[in-house]
Amino acid sequence: MAMKLKANERLVCVGQTALRAPDGTPLPAVPLYKIVDASEVGAECSGNLTTGESGLYDDIAAVFGQKFKQYVDGVEAAGAGSLGGAK
């Protein structure tokens, strides 16, 4: 179904779904989009995330960064040497 977006609307990809043919064989994945107000789309994310999603993305990146630092510190404390090469 084709439709025209209003001037203040944007499409944001929210995921993919796998379809199946009537006989049960898998078909290619199809992206799913939602229509959002253009003001909700963060420019720093090339239009793929809304402003709220962008903040969440930054928050989870900080958590992953802290966990990786904890891992690196643990490896070094255990005497395994640097992570990048053999001892």
Residue-range definition of the domain harbouring residue 37: 10-17+27-77
What band does 47 get if pLDDT is binned at 50, 70 and 90? low
Spacing of C-alpha 60 from chain mean position: 10
Instruction: Assess whether pLDDT exceeds 80 at residue 52.
Output: no
The answer to the question of residue 1 being in a domain is: no
Instruction: Assess whether pLDDT exceeds 60 at residue 45.
Output: no
The answer to the question of residue 2 being in a domain is: no
* SS3 (DSSP) at 34: strand
Q: State the total domains in the chain.
A: 1
Dist. CA 31–CA 54, nearest whole Å: 20
Give pTM, 2 decimals. 0.43
**Letter for the amino acid at 14?**
V
* SS3 (DSSP) at 4: coil
What band does 48 get if pLDDT is binned at 50, 70 and 90? low
